[in-house]
Amino acid sequence: MSDHPQDLSLREQARAIADGELDATELLEATLARIGERDGPLRSIAESFGSEAAKMLAEAPEGPLHGVPVAVKDMFALPWRAPRDGSVKNPYGIGPGESGLYRRLRDSGAVVVAVTNMHEFGIGSTGHVSAYGPCATPWDVTRCAGGSSGGSASAVGARLVAGAVGTDGGGSIRYPASYCGVTGLKLTYGLMPRDGYTHGFASMGEAGPLCRDAADARLLAGAMLGRPLSSLRASGMKIGVPNVMWQDLDPEVEAGCRAALEALAEAGCELREVGLEGTEHALTATVVRLTVEGAPSARPEIVREIEPQLSPLIRALMKYQLLLSADAVVRADRVRAQIRRSLAAAFSQVDVVAWPATPAPSPPISDPVVELPSGRHPADFANVRLGGLGNLAGVPAASVPCGLTAGRLPIGLQLLAPWREEERLLDLAELLERATDRRFVDAAPPVAQPAAA
């Protein structure tokens, strides 16, 4: 049994500090040491902060996360560092400063110990393209952590930190949560302040916590929102299962997610088939919305400055995005309206809807392609089909660990709730944890096994 404080949960760290059982300075030092020891093959951390974190700790107010180290995705301004969006420089002209997220974390007593790696400019669901190098899942360092919040998920999965903040504009919290075996929650659009967030202009993206389990995600989400999230009974919830979102899946992923639904049914939930409209165009509508909002927001003079240092893939995709037709934008918005209405109608019948977070487990970094019954597809193409709905609609959405493949790669179940009903997702995730004896949230990846320490 490890006695390293980063093997404690986020809530255990917070409680131990509050009770005087754990020295926050020792926790910070142990966290920085563990990052140094473990992160090499993962590349989950873009930069860690010894002196700045120590200063935050010295000035930390009392709060739910007093003295607890957390990591933040490379999309938020910190007083000592400009966000870089996984690149050499963010193209939006955002410099160092107090982002809204930073203020919320600081006011909760948390200590920002590191910035996490991410897919360059957020344009990808794999995390294998970044100025900081390809980010790996702690379950297999030759495979993708997911994107674009891959560093946050990988760092939590590897027990470098117990909580990290990600963002999700097209599934970017849920894919890495699934690939890294952690709990990720995209908050309802608009709940977090937008200032100092590189994609604050967007109508799709929102921040959220990545933690090892739902109780920690509840704690970190509460700190981010500035109010605690209550805990209610999930037993008896009605779970909508749209068959259209359960097509063309890796057999092990489908089996793992269906087993999770069966476990929830045995725990007292009711499963109901529900219909959803517009899903056949959700992928395109998501890509179109992300494109039309992202590229024009970049400052041309900065893009010209950094273009020689961009990855060839991202450089080409940024140009490709500029070819989008107005017709596609208008139609994508019709699809978005259709999906929002359809989800709202579904939520009049059920409490949440569920389908897999990703259609397949994490692909290799060297070839980020997934094998599905319909053939081989780029992971981005396959993932956004499942993840985009939550962003088009604006609803809260989570990925919760629900299984491991025979090759010991994590599987995530995706849950969506009505607008501002984050608690429902966390309640249901906790019920699933109990129903599966915490087998999947407590499973430790190879880099976090005691022998690897």
User: Which residue of 33, 316, 452, 453 would you call a contact of other proteins, by CB under 8 A?
Assistant: 316
CB of 7 to other proteins, least distance (A): 37
Catalytic residue among 108, 130, 148, 362: 148
* Whether 73 is catalytic: yes
User: Which residue of 41, 320, 366, 408 would you call a contact of other proteins, by CB under 8 A?
Assistant: 320
User: Which residue of 332, 370, 413, 425 would you call a contact of other proteins, by CB under 8 A?
Assistant: 332
Give yes or no for residue 301 binding other proteins (CB under 8 A).
Answer: no
CB of 73 to other proteins, least distance (A): 20
- Give the integer Cα–Cα distance in Å for 48 and 37: 13
Give yes or no for residue 418 binding other proteins (CB under 8 A).
Answer: yes
Site for other proteins in 377-416 (CB under 8 A): 377-378, 381, 393-394
Give yes or no for residue 288 binding other proteins (CB under 8 A).
Answer: yes
- Which one, 334 or 439, has the nearer CB to other proteins? 334
- Which one, 133 or 190, has the nearer CB to other proteins? 190
User: Which residue of 341, 376, 434, 439 would you call a contact of other proteins, by CB under 8 A?
Assistant: 341
CB of 155 to other proteins, least distance (A): 28
CA-based nearest residue to 162, from 36, 46, 4, 56: 4
Catalytic residue among 73, 87, 178, 311: 73
Give yes or no for residue 439 binding other proteins (CB under 8 A).
Answer: no
- Which one, 108 or 342, has the nearer CB to other proteins? 342
Give yes or no for residue 191 binding other proteins (CB under 8 A).
Answer: yes
CA-based nearest residue to 149, from 418, 171, 139, 108: 171
Answer whether 128's CB lies under 8 Å from 368's CB: yes
User: Which residue of 1, 312, 406, 437 would you call a contact of other proteins, by CB under 8 A?
Assistant: 312
* Whether 203 is catalytic: no
CA-based nearest residue to 286, from 378, 390, 186: 390
User: Which residue of 21, 266, 327, 437 would you call a contact of other proteins, by CB under 8 A?
Assistant: 327
User: If DSSP states are collapsed to H, E and C, what string results for the chain?
Assistant: CCCCHHHCCHHHHHHHHHCCCCCHHHHHHHHHHHHHHHCCCCCCEEEECHHHHHHHHHCCCCCCCCCCEEEEECCECECCECCCCCCCCCCCCCCCCCCHHHHHHHHCCCEEEEEECCCHHHCCCCCCCCCCCCCEECCEEEEECCCCCHHHHHHHHCCCCCEEEEEECCCCCHHHHHHHCCEEEECCCCCCCCCCECCCCCCCCEEEEEECCHHHHHHHHHHHHCCCCCCCCCCCCEEEECHHHHCCCCHHHHHHHHHHHHHHHHCCCEEEECCCCCHHHHHHHHHHHHHHHHHHHCCHHHHHHHHHHCCHHHHHHHHHHCCCCHHHHHHHHHHHHHHHHHHHHHCCCCCEEEEECCCCCCCECCCCEEEECCEEEEHHHHHHHHHHHHHHHCCCEEEEEEEECCCCCEEEEEEECCCCCHHHHHHHHHHHHHHCCCCCCCCCCHHHCHHHC
Give yes or no for residue 276 binding other proteins (CB under 8 A).
Answer: no
- Which one, 264 or 382, has the nearer CB to other proteins? 382
Give yes or no for residue 232 binding other proteins (CB under 8 A).
Answer: no
User: Which residue of 299, 334, 376, 439 would you call a contact of other proteins, by CB under 8 A?
Assistant: 334
Give yes or no for residue 299 binding other proteins (CB under 8 A).
Answer: no
- Which one, 247 or 284, has the nearer CB to other proteins? 284
- Which one, 79 or 378, has the nearer CB to other proteins? 378
- Give the integer Cα–Cα distance in Å for 23 and 224: 23
Q: Single out the segment in contact with other proteins by CB under 8 A; choices: 23-31, 53-61, 69-77, 183-191.
A: 183-191
Give yes or no for residue 204 binding other proteins (CB under 8 A).
Answer: yes
Give yes or no for residue 174 binding other proteins (CB under 8 A).
Answer: no
Give yes or no for residue 372 binding other proteins (CB under 8 A).
Answer: no
Answer whether 76's CB lies under 8 Å from 83's CB: yes
Give yes or no for residue 78 binding other proteins (CB under 8 A).
Answer: no
Indicate the burial class of 62 (C-beta count within 10 angstroms; 0-12, 13-18, 19 or more). exposed
* Whether 89 is catalytic: no
Q: Single out the segment in contact with other proteins by CB under 8 A; choices: 35-43, 148-156, 223-231, 374-382.
A: 374-382
Give yes or no for residue 189 binding other proteins (CB under 8 A).
Answer: yes
CB of 46 to other proteins, least distance (A): 25
Q: Single out the segment in contact with other proteins by CB under 8 A; choices: 43-51, 112-120, 217-225, 375-383.
A: 375-383
CA-based nearest residue to 420, from 191, 115, 266: 191
Residues assigned a catalytic role:
73, 148, 172
Q: Contact residues for other proteins (CB under 8 A)?
A: 188-191, 203-204, 278, 280-281, 283-285, 287-288, 312-313, 315-317, 319-320, 322-323, 325, 327-328, 331-338, 340-341, 344, 347, 377-378, 381, 393-394, 418-420
